[in-house]
Structure 1
Amino acid sequence: MRRKGILNVKLSRAISEMGHDDIMLVVDAGFPMVYDDRVIDLALCPGVPDLRTVLSAIRQDMWVEAFYMIEEAKANNPNAWGTTNEVFPDALPDTRPNSWFHEEGYHGAKYIVRTGGWMPWGNVALISGIPVKEWFDNTGGDVPDSWTERHALNVKHGMTGVK
């Protein structure tokens, strides 16, 4: 039996299968989708589990380089926007139109995690990342300039490697 971390077998396996730049959508209870092998349905009842709980669990095991939320979330669901920024302070935040989540994001997502989230604009696209310094340490060279911002965010928030 696992001592800590994500106990849900399918979610744990999904995180292990995520590669750099893969997308994991974390969606609310009302997100329209086909229940195929990519869907990990955690919803139990309205609000359970909530967005923060699911994102916090994912944070324990997954490197998240960036996240996208629906454009309207900043103004119309500041709780979801703030929660996501708090859980992933070292990820680069961005927005996408609602249509992106239902089309490009949905079709491009490696996995879709359904929460019990009971609110509008509560969908998040997590972009899988890497432990920057460790990744580049194995090259014998320095972290490229194009990665220094990512590395600085990792270090600032205590995410410096896998050890």
Structure 2
Amino acid sequence: MKKSTLINSEISYLVSTLGHTDEITICDAGLPIPDETQRIDLALTHGVPSFIETIKVILSESQVEGVVLAEEFKVVSPSLHDAFLSEIEAEQERCGKNITITYISHEAFKDQTRQSRAVVRTGECTPYANVIFQAGVVF
């Protein structure tokens, strides 16, 4: 049995096959997911699993060099936005690398999810709790 934190087989496979600059999206329960993009649905009920819980586990298994967020996230859901930024700051300290943060409109964000290798849907019900992770390298 796998010993590390991430035990979901689909996400584990996804992370292990990411190349430099590949993108994955972690989203709330309401983000539309393009038909042509792989959907990994973790949502069980409202809030389960949460956006932050999911982010923590994925960051524990993957190297991220950039994140893309909707501008609306910091305005409409500032508490969760700040919690997310705290996780990114902690990850930067752990890995010793900067993680670039880019803000775009929510409409542009939805369009960019089409480029993601997969979209991981959480049970989060906080508006705009979505992020696109851009894969980095561990060396």
TM-score range, shorter chain: 0.7 to 0.9
> Across the two proteins, how many residue pairs are aligned to each other?
131
Question: Which of 128, 131, 139 is the matching residue for 1:124?
Answer: 131
Deviation of 1:53 (Å) = 0.3
**Contact 2:36–2:114 (Cα < 8 Å) also in 1:** no
Aligned to 2:96: none
Q: Does 1:96 align with 2:104?
A: yes
Q: Aligned to 1:39, what secondary structure does the other structure show? A: strand
Which consecutive residues of structure 1, in runs of 5 or more, have no partner in the other structure?
136-163
**Contact 2:19–2:135 (Cα < 8 Å) also in 1:** yes
**Counterpart amino acid of 1:74?**
K
Per-residue Cα deviation, 1:41-87 (whole angstroms, up to 9, x for no partner): 11000000001100000011000111111101112211232122122
Per-residue Cα deviation, 1:22-51 (whole angstroms, up to 9, x for no partner): 111101101112456611111000000001
Q: Measure, in 2, the Cα distance between the counterparts of 1:36 and 1:8.
A: 22
Relative contact order (alpha carbons < 8 A, sep ≥ 6): 1 or 2 greater? 2
Which consecutive residues of structure 2, in runs of 5 or more, have no partner in the other structure?
93-98
Structure showing greater radius of gyration is 1
Q: Measure, in 1, the Cα distance between the counterparts of 2:103 and 2:34.
A: 24
Q: Measure, in 2, the Cα distance between the counterparts of 1:28 and 1:50.
A: 8
Q: Aligned to 2:5, what secondary structure does the other structure show? A: coil
**Contact 1:77–1:121 (Cα < 8 Å) also in 2:** yes
**Counterpart amino acid of 2:110?**
H
Aligned to 1:82: 82
Q: CA RMSD in A?
A: 1.4
Residues 3 and 12 of structure 1, relative CA distance in 2, 3 Å threshold:
same
**Contact 1:64–1:88 (Cα < 8 Å) also in 2:** no
Q: Measure, in 2, the Cα distance between the counterparts of 1:16 and 1:27.
A: 20
Q: Quick one: percent identity of the two aligned structures?
A: 27
Per-residue Cα deviation, 1:99-156 (whole angstroms, up to 9, x for no partner): 12221x121111110000101111111111112xxx3xxxxxxxxxxxxxxxxxxxxx
